[in-house]
Structure 1
């Protein structure tokens, strides 16, 4: 009897496995009872090209995502070997197209703190309230690229700061060809500066501008009077090198 029960349970388990089931992928029910082609041949090795262009559109950024509108003409791409290394030369025409696709793009970096892609994305939407969706890409050293679809949104992000996230400054700079993500810090940071105890009659736009153009120091002299300088949300400043 025990062997019959065991066989019965075994057959039951097999029959249950054969019953079509539904599985859920990100909130959608998908019927697994579909006919599927099974390829028993070994998979081909993934090429570098497949790794670069065969992934999600998150990694395409210059306005060409989802479209194959970059026409490569004869001579636009030159491939060769230099001292045994593969060499690729891109024509000026293609360079101009790609650079034009980076219009309305800024570089971001949160000072003194790492931040995840989606956390930053949510923070930016709350801070900037853009009129159209943002396109983001994370790159080296905690830098991010953000492309705006609206010119006014782009200008507001650059001019309406400084922006502070989690008590740290978010550096926002226009993207240029000179941008180097291997540098640990941005060359320019927009920050709030306070002059505690500054006499009220000195609060003139031109006078404050002249005071603000002094080197990065903790104190300055105004008509021989020592004036403290405070930099908000900049936790570490080297007044010797100005960083």
Structure 2
């Protein structure tokens, strides 16, 4: 735990050096760390019910969100994988154009920070990714994520709406429809321009704890749902084998 590496460097830093921001680490240059100074109004420390407590306010949260803007959380379903093996596999699979930072976390989760927006979008929206025949789950970093979650409970997936009536080919209408399935993260460029009328495509963050819908109704009409980039599915009882 605590391994960190930046591709294509062979340097591997400790968690402590990352935390302290050692000046010898190439990570600082790769990720262009923003200078941030805590001010009096940014943090409060106190003792609540005998427990030392620290509270960070808006400016700190905004800084964290900027710092983690191109960060994803990954986990390989069905098996554990070592740090160096995973690094070798993903660099071969993704061929990133800019350095990436990989850090191993608890419960077989990995965190990856990208320097390039193109590399980030390729990984987030370009799946499915498979390593050793197992599905590599990808989720956007969020402040609510915790490594104590032993099972993957959300997943980004491409969704198709085959046969969607032409009148609904509009950004805000397709987003509204997609919200029935989960949080809409991205629309296909062709979907937005209606250049591909065969089906609408969008990326949705689905909740794996809920039943997976194979169809919805739009104004009383059945609309089929097609999913891409999913592991083993059972539509009657949604289950991800881990």
The TM tier, using the shorter chain, reads 0.5 to 0.7
SS at match of 1:185: coil
Q: 1:177 aligns with which of 130, 137, 143?
A: 143
Could you tell me how far 1:149 is from its partner in structure 2? 0.5
Indicate the residue corresponding to 2:120 in structure 1. 154
1:97 aligns with 2:63: yes
Report how many residues are paired.
167
Pair 1:99–1:205, CA change in 2 (3 A): same
Aligned to 1:31: none
Alignment of 1:78-89 (within 5 A): 78-89=44-55
- Relative to total residues, which structure has the larger strand share, 1 or 2? 2
Contact 1:171 1:190 in 2 (8 A): no
Assess if the C-alpha contact under 8 Å between 2:74 and 2:138 holds in 1. Answer: yes
- d(CA) in 1 for partners of 2:62 and 2:29? 13
Q: Is the 8 A contact 2:127 2:229 kept in 1?
A: no
Q: Who is 1:134 aligned against?
A: 100
State how far apart, in whole Å, the 2-side matches of 1:53 and 1:108 are. Answer: 21
Larger relative contact order, structure 1 or 2 (CA cutoff 8 Å, min sep 6): 2
The TM-score with structure 1 as length reference comes to 0.55
Q: Please, what is the CA RMSD of the aligned residues?
A: 4.1
TM-score (norm 2): 0.55
1:1-243 alignment, distance < 5 Å: 53-54=19-20, 69-183=35-149, 184-188=151-155, 190=157, 205-206=198-199, 215=212, 234=231, 237=233, 239-243=235-239
CA contact (8 A) 2:34 2:67 kept: no
SS at match of 1:75: helix
- Asked if the contact 1:171–1:186 (Cα under 8 Å) also holds between the matched residues in 2, the reply is no
Q: For residues 119 and 233 of structure 2, what CA distance do their matches in structure 1 show?
A: 31
Q: Give distance in 1, aligned partners of 2:38 and 2:30.
A: 13
Shift of 1:232: 9.1
| Distance verdict in 2 for CA 1:136–1:63, change over 3 Å | farther
Contact 1:62 1:98 in 2 (8 A): no
Question: For the structure 1 residues 205 and 175, does the alpha-carbon distance in structure 2 shift closer, same or farther, using more than 3 Å as the test?
Answer: farther
Q: Partners in 1 of 2:91 and 2:153 — Cα distance? A: 22
Q: In structure 2, what is the equivalent of residue 25 of structure 1?
A: none
